[in-house]
Amino acid sequence: MRSTILSALLIVCCAITTWGQLPEEAPPSWINGLNLTGGLPEKLLATRSAVFYSHTLSEKELDEVQKTFLQTGIDAVAYYELDMLMASKDITRTFADYFTKREISNLILLERDENGYRLSITVVDGKEDVVAPQQMAWSISNRVLPEVLKSLYRTAANQQKRLNLLINDLPEKDLPINPILGKRNEFFAIDLKVDPLAVPKFGNEQMDKELEEIIKNNYPLKYKLTEPGLSEKDLRKQGSLYIMCIVHTRGAVAQKLLGYDMSKVESSLTSVTYPEPGKPEVKNIPGNAPIYKVYFKHIDSGNVFLGTKWDADVTWQQALINHIRGLKAELRIN
């Protein structure tokens, strides 16, 4: 029974990453799982694209990017911060549905780090994972952004006929994305006292051992450990009514995606952590620091139970412990 719950937990954790990556990796690292030696998507200048960019890019730089797209004939209809796309399985699936509804065929991924800029372009695969492992992508890197954009313009102009005509002058950002299909609840599900929780595995031996130990030593209710990659439909057939989910991205982004009040923008976020059972402490974590946030979801309804307090942490292990100990305190379970 306990090993069952561990599985559910791991599934969720795996959802936060893609293709078996460890959750400790920075969110954009999944791009390295693409085959970056390919050519431009064949219909780049005839179909719609979505742009995912590093949050460190300035407004001026994004305006410069969109100006180049306009000149090139790339119809970029939506801009999102890069670490949103693969923040969790539910969030990725939400973007997949969004791309289908808006008929978006291409992904443009613009990264910025200490080495400069990298622009990668690939197609949307039309599935819940958005892109497949080792999917072909065109990519170019340079220390300066103008050179990256010039390379894109020259390559596209030499290879394709421009068919996109009505293109936005400025990047369209902050379009709403809601990964919660059911009701959003800032409390714990009382039904967990009787309904089993699915805990998905990571697919990594060491992490799976840690997960199992944390669940065994902390989670007091029914659970089932499940194998990585199982669909929620399959989990339901196995008897699980709830699934443990984990979001991994910057704290401010996680709060926005999960529907928290963002009217007051703060440089740091206050999180409740439980270094010891029954002894909650307050921890301030920078809003742009990568964090993990655990929550439980009812599989049939899609209702999400976030807990009564913001309990995210900088490691998945502590975030999981925080959430379980918070649940025990609120439901008065020893």
Residue 299 identity (one-letter amino acid): I
Signed CA dihedral, 214, 215, 216, 219: sign only: positive
Verdict on whether the full-model pTM lies above 0.85 = yes
Residues paired with residue 81 on neighbouring β-strands, in sequence order: 53
DSSP 100-151: HHTTEEEEEEEEEETTEEEEEEEE--SSTTSS-TT-B-EEEEESSHHHHHHH
Residue 276 is predicted with a pLDDT of: 86
Residue 29 is predicted with a pLDDT of: 72
- Using 50 as the pLDDT threshold, list the residues of the chain that sit under it: 1-27
Backbone dihedral region for residue 313 (phi beyond 0: left; psi -120 to 50: alpha; all else: beta): beta
Going from the C-alpha of 33 to that of each of 29, 38, 207, 227, 271, the distances in angstroms are 8, 13, 20, 22, 32
Nearest to 19 by CA among 4, 41, 36, 34: 34
H/E stretch holding 212: helix 205-218
Residue 5 is predicted with a pLDDT of: 39
The CA-based diameter of the chain, rounded to the nearest angstrom, is 68
What is the chain's alpha carbon radius of gyration, rounded to the nearest angstrom?
Answer: 21
**C-alpha to C-alpha distance for 106 and 128, rounded to whole angstroms:** 15
Nearest to 180 by CA among 291, 262, 97: 97
Token output for 112 = 């910025």
Nearest to 8 by CA among 318, 234, 312, 180: 234
Q: Kindly report, residue by residue over 169-197, the tens digit of the pLDDT.
A: 999 998 999 999 999 999 999 999 999 99
Contacts of 43 (CB under 8 A, 6+ apart): 105, 106, 160
Nearest to 163 by CA among 100, 79, 80, 105: 105
Residue 14 is predicted with a pLDDT of: 39
**Domain residue ranges in the chain:** 2-20+179-330, 27-159
**C-alpha to C-alpha distance for 140 and 267, rounded to whole angstroms:** 33
Token output for 258 = 């999960």
Give the class (CATH, top level) of 27-159: alpha beta
Q: Kindly report, residue by residue over 193-217, the tens digit of the pLDDT.
A: 999 999 999 989 999 999 999 999 9
Residue 28 is predicted with a pLDDT of: 56
Residue 4 is predicted with a pLDDT of: 39
